[in-house]
Amino acid sequence: MTDVTPSVAEGLSPQVSLRQALSAFSTGVTILSTASSTGDPVGLTANSFNVLSLEPPLVLWSLRTSSGCAETFLAASHFTVNVLSEDQIDISRRFARPGDDRFEGVTWRFGPGAVPRIQGCAAIFECRIVSHQTYGDHVLFIGLVEEHRYQARRPLIFHHGKYHTLGQPL
- Let me know if residue 61 belongs to a domain: yes
Q: Does residue 120 belong to any structural domain of this protein?
A: yes
* CA 138 to mean position of chain CA atoms: 13
- Chunked mean pLDDT (size 10), the chain, 170 residues: 53 84 87 96 95 98 95 97 97 90 94 96 98 97 98 93 86
Whether 111 maps to a domain, the answer reads: yes
Other CB atoms closer than 10 Å to residue 42's CB: what's the count? 20
> Residue 7: its pLDDT value, please?
58
Residue-range definition of the domain harbouring residue 113: 28-159
CA 162 to chain centroid, in Å, comes to 15
- Residue 170: inside a domain: no
pLDDT, one tens digit per residue, over 1-44 is: 544 455 555 678 888 888 888 888 888 999 999 999 999 999 99
> Per the domain annotation, does 124 fall within a domain?
yes
Task: For residue 141, give the CATH number of its domain.
Answer: 2.30.110.10
Residue 1 lies in a domain: no
The reply to whether 119 falls in a domain is yes
Coil, helix or strand for 71? helix
Check if the beta carbon of residue 145 is closer than 8 Å to that of residue 49.
no
> How many domains does the structure of the chain reveal?
1
